[in-house]
Amino acid sequence: MRMREQLPPGPYAPRAVQTLGWWTRPHAYLERCRSRYGKRFTVRLLGPPPFVMHSEPEHIREIFTAPPEVLHPGEGAAILEPVVGTSSVILLDEDAHLEQRKLMLPAFHGEKMHALTGLVEDVTAREVESWPRDEPVPFHRRLQKLTLEIILRAVFGLDVGERLDAMRERLTAILEYGAQPLANLPQLQRSRPWPNKWDRFVGLRSEADALIFDLVAERRGERAERGDVLSMLLAARHEDGTEMSAQELRDELMTLLVAGHETTASELAWAFERLPRVPGVLARLVAEIDAGDDDAYLTATVQETLRRRPVLPNVAPRLVKQPVEVAGWRYEPGVCLVANAYLTHHDPEIYEDPYAFRPERFLGEGPGTYTWIPFGGGRRRCLGASFAQLEMKIVLRAVLARYELAGAGEGLELTRRRSITVSPGRGARAVLRERTGRGDVAGRSSAAGRPVRSPAVHA
């Protein structure tokens, strides 16, 4: 076999050893590989095909713009199928993916997302009010609870009551199952030592599905207009004029849950962990929020958090289906090409002093298409990217308008994996203190210049 037909070099350790490094020290493992093998290298993990990591922007451009029949991100993300279902837009490829994406895209239009702002503010205000003060607290769990509540209210369209409580309970358990290491090895899920956990997961999934199907059937019969994402999906039509089936709706709702719950919660947790360590950034951010007439620095802070700590270290693997050449290297079917967000975001040739937290780098000039990829790119870019950033801005504004955010004084937090995401190792420990002389969140103005609505509006 000629050298050009082989895979790029990478670690020679057994798959189990590489998987252990990948799981336990994800950032350090990637850094070591790049240091030894360069910006293109191959890792071999238990379960999936070989991953060829790329962190050169031109390589990433070629991967993102490759024809859909050549690279299949859907097949590369098959690990999510037990939760999101076979109709999920994440798992579809080629024409099927394009059609499903077209159905969902209108629900994430800027105006639609803006209409949900008040609801997100209300849910956030209620949750933030209950958070403990004046003691070191791991906030990741609380942020998970908050982002789940936002999805259940804004995406599923659930009102406060028994159905919301039942859905919250089951979905929380399902997501906890997915965060366990062996859940990332589909071939082991149904075998020992996991049969009992797998059976419990299937039972919880069936209960959650029943609740979703009941909700869909009920909402189909309603005449009232709602602004939640489920209502928008119910109004969507395939090219032949047919509506989305109950199974399609279920799978897309679960996709939005998986894509928008743990990811946003972990990204906010990193913001809570990072900001107290850069007092100049925090002070400038609070000053902008207090002024209430601009959110440029808040936007840049969110973008820098997503750069510095992308919760998905790599973009969805793209399975090679037809021979393809990327940056002079020929790949045959059966390997996955992976754009690595973490390594791209921490390349000194792209970002000056890449390990520093500097929102200023995004003021006046937005992130690059192939150098800032926390949401992927190309035709597979995350549908909920705008909503996730809106949510982060609302939460940070609500917290910093009312509280002083301080570190727990315990040193840096290392990373830990939760399923395919990376979060702060100690849960983002921080301290909230009341800001003296400040009004509460409900009385402050949002960046849009209007008062935040009372939490009772959507109760």
268 has a pLDDT exceeding 90: yes
Most confident listed range (53-57, 189-193, 220-224) = 53-57
Residues in the chain: 459
Structure tokens at 209: 């599905």
Average pLDDT score over residue span 134-144: 93
pLDDT bracket for residue 195 (50, 70, 90): low
CB atoms within 10 A of CB 135: 9
189 has a pLDDT exceeding 70: no
By the 10 Å C-beta count (0-12 exposed, 13-18 middle, 19+ buried), 445 is classed as middle
Cα gap 44→351, rounded to integer Å: 29
CATH of the domain at 162: 1.10.630.10
Q: Say which residues have a Cβ less than 8 Å from residue 291's Cβ, sequence separation at least 6.
A: none
Structure tokens at 385: 């990217």
Residue 194 domain boundaries = 3-458
At 72, is the secondary structure helix, strand, or coil?
strand
Give me the chain's average pLDDT, please: 86
At 358, is the secondary structure helix, strand, or coil?
coil
452 has a pLDDT exceeding 50: no
For 211, list phi and psi in degrees, rounded to 5: -65, -40
Per-residue CA distances from 152 to 120, 228, 229, 250, 320 (Å)? 11, 10, 10, 13, 36
Q: How many structural domains are present in the chain?
A: 1
The residue type at 79:
I
What does the pLDDT read at residue 181?
59
Q: Say which residues have a Cβ less than 8 Å from residue 3's Cβ, sequence separation at least 6.
A: none
438 has a pLDDT exceeding 70: no
- Portion of the chain with pLDDT greater than 90, in percent: 59
Strand 336-339 and strand 318-320: pairing? antiparallel
Q: Say which residues have a Cβ less than 8 Å from residue 424's Cβ, sequence separation at least 6.
A: 140, 266, 269, 270, 273, 413, 415, 416
| DSSP at 86 | T
304 — alpha (psi -120 to 50), left (phi > 0) or beta?
alpha
Average pLDDT score over residue span 219-244: 86
User: The whole model's pTM is what?
Assistant: 0.89
